[in-house]
Structure 1
Amino acid sequence: MTVRPLRVPRRTAVLGSATALAAALMTACSSGSAETEAAAGGGAASDAGGAAGATRSVVHARGTTAVPEDPQRVVVLEPLELDTAVGLGVTPVGAAVAGNITTLPEYLGVTGVAPVGTVPEPDLEAIAALAPDLVLGTETRHAKLYDQLASIAPTVFIADHAAPWRENMGLIAEALGRSEEAADLLEAVDARSEEIAAEHAPSGTTVNMVRPRDETTLSLYGPTSFAGSLLASVGLSIPEREWADAIQSDISPENILEAQADLVLVTTTDVEDPTTIPAAIAQNAEAFPDVRLVDTSYWVSGVGPVGAQRVLDDIEAILADRS
């Protein structure tokens, strides 16, 4: 049983003429003063480019930033930030796309979001051209760009993209002024997980999620990863091993038997194409009695509350099929 893939829309152009971009950048950079140090006893630092009107102080990986009470033009540079914003009812004006895809994931169901480069390499000119009033990024990926981003608009960074997604989601929601709504989304994920666990009782069933990287590398994902945490939340068990950065562990095809489990999930961009199952698994069919393809756009790239519900959809369908 496989899960039908989603069709990804064509990339939307975002860059205008060089003159327009330069003008946008100058406008963005002149809309406020440079970031200042927070004063002792509770004074807050503020990024340049903040929108006029009421602001809130948000403490993040780079200090404290004054952000608009209700940001209207948000640019996100991390998949979790994109998914969380959409889940909270905020459609960003711009988003960086993941390095392994070319456009925004269709599972989010939003349109009109302009790509602004890739997650590893955001396009500063494209960001400035959108005249954002808030930029969300990540210290582990975008540290060198912080000052430039902060000159365009108030900028908030989560510390580490590999940190537990729920914790990062909390800071993103705070920056967007929607913390209560975020708590509701997480409660919905938990409630759904409990329902699936109660209905299908998969306790004792082992599972491994395998992401083919290239011909020489396969990644296994642990229980603290995004997808791994959801698998664990319904009662499935991921076999113990040492996890790099507490999230994943890479193996070579020669060591494929390390991925053995009652259920093996292989991420792919086309869940209808069985040829995307790694040859090492296909050639050892007796060791892998139940292999399912799952969509990488939300099992790997689409970290967040919207993607979590899609992952739970797949888990529920797979467990029902195994019953």
Structure 2
Amino acid sequence: MGTSLVLKLPTLPTRDQPSFRHRPVTRRAFLGGTVGVAAVALLAACSGDEEDADDSTASSTDSDAQTTRVVALNTGHLDHLLLLGIVPVGLAVAKSANGDPSGIPDYIYDRFGESFDLDAIEQVGLRAEPDVEKIATLEPDLILSNDRADEALLTQLRGITTVVTTNGGSELWKEDLGILADAVGKREEADDLLAAYEKNASDWADNRGNDAVVSLVRGRNDEYILTGPSSLSGSVVEDAGLTRPDGQRFSDTANHDLSVENTDQLDADYLFYSFDGGAESLTDSASWRNLEVVKAGNAYAVDMDAWFLNASLVAAQYILDDLKDRIGE
């Protein structure tokens, strides 16, 4: 655009507000709300000045930078762009546990599908191997990748346009939100939204009056994975003032393998799990049925994509809402 347009976003909405849906309603649909409506207005304003927009470049340090054609290549990028009112023109995808062939999970459709045409986003291959030629044909003014990408790939991408890399990995999702927001000139909005989430979590912790113990486990192929404090879901549990079982307080990595023989490590006040990744479910085993948390009726299946496969503020709010639904006020 010829001039810089600053979009003021409201605080992060919760499921207490009315919901929009793009496809058949799922249990966890919640609203992008005013964020999406304002973003549509922004995009409409940009469309009349498309030629100038295509020539723009993104800066990771210029808070006034505005971008209109972004390609997102890694976890959390799509979530954060949509939250800030930007629909990417291209997206590298991973196999979604609960989504359609576009690779966009249901929780993203539920949150943003009514406000944005998500089906118009071009796929540019898988995250592990994006199609550089296809990316180039989209004429982006910003490509988002991460520091774990192959340097040869990053060199190719830099030959197309500005490339900004985030850290990657779920443990640094808050920092990655800031990096992305700087790149698209929306740091103030991102900071406000993150602060709203953190206040939501801390207020619930203060009002709840307990530090319940929460256990997290998921399936991956034919394996079981304990999710630790350095994961996205683990960080949300911590932000909400909840604690973890002794065997799930590791800090060396985000996840640890769990053997069937050690199912007792899952016992807690509340257990959140997803075995959509292909592992044979533990839920049919005697060891599972003998867990005190299962006997108490406090073991809950959750959405794999939001809880365990993505790393974003959108997913964090989803998880926080799930925790509040199950544990209560």
TM-score range, shorter chain: 0.7 to 0.9
Q: Which runs of 5+ in 1 are unaligned?
A: 7-49, 60-65
Deviations 1:182-230 (A, max 9, x none): 1011111111112322343331x21111011133x21111122111111
- Structure 1, 244-253 or 286-295: larger mean CA deviation: 244-253
Whichever of the two has the greater Rg, that structure is: 1
2:172 paired with 1:164: yes
Partner of 1:73: 69
Describe how 1:185-196 pairs up with structure 2 within 5 A.
Answer: 185-196=193-204
Deviations 1:84-138 (A, max 9, x none): 1111111111111124444212322241222221222222232222211100001
Q: Identify if the C-alpha distance between structure 1 residues 52 and 4 changes in structure 2 by more than 3 Å, giving closer, same or farther.
A: closer
Q: d(CA) in 2 for partners of 1:67 and 1:194?
A: 28
Query: Using the alignment, how far apart are the partners of 1:182 and 1:68 within structure 2?
Result: 14
- Within the candidate set 296, 318, 322, 2:326 is matched to 318
Report the secondary structure of 2:148's partner residue.
Answer: helix
Q: Is the 8 A contact 2:71 2:135 kept in 1?
A: yes
**How many pairs does the alignment contain?**
263
Report the 3-state secondary structure (helix = DSSP H, G, I; strand = E; otherwise coil) of the residue aligned with 2:311: coil
| Map of 1:52 onto structure 2 | 55
Q: 1:219·1:249 contact (CA, 8 Å) conserved in 2?
A: yes
Q: Which residue of 2 aligns with 1:256?
A: 263
- Structure 1 residue ranges, 4+ long, deviating more than 6 angstroms after superposition: none
After superposition, give the CA deviation of every residue in 1:15-63 in whole Å (9 maximum; x if it has no partner).
Answer: xxxxxxxxxxxxxxxxxxxxxxxxxxxxxxxxxxx9535x56437xxxx
- Paired residue for 1:208? 215
Of the three residues 79, 86, 92, the one matched with 1:90 is 86
Shift of 1:160: 3.8
Partner of 1:21: none
What is the TM-score when the length of structure 2 is the normalising length?
0.71
2:226 alignment partner, one of 213, 217, 220: 220
SS for the counterpart of 1:72 is coil
CA shift, 1:264, in A, is: 1.1
1:265 to 265, 272, 280: 272
Q: 2:136 aligns with which of 128, 131, 144?
A: 128
Which residue does 2:282 correspond to in 1? 278
Please give the secondary structure, in 2, of the residue aligned with 1:164: helix
Tell me, which stretches of 5 or more residues in structure 2 are unaligned?
1-25, 30-52
Displacement after TM superposition at 1:244 (Å): 6.5
Give the structure-1-normalised TM-score. Answer: 0.73
Distance, in Å, in 2 between the alignment partners of 1:152 and 1:67 is: 22
- In 2, are the aligned partners of 1:254 and 1:280 still within 8 Å (CA)? no
Residue in structure 2 matching 1:295, options 300, 303, 306: 303
The 3 A distance-change label for structure 1 pair 188 and 257 is same
Contact 2:214–2:243, Cα closer than 8 Å, also in 1: yes
CA distance in 2, matches of 1:277, 1:144: 40
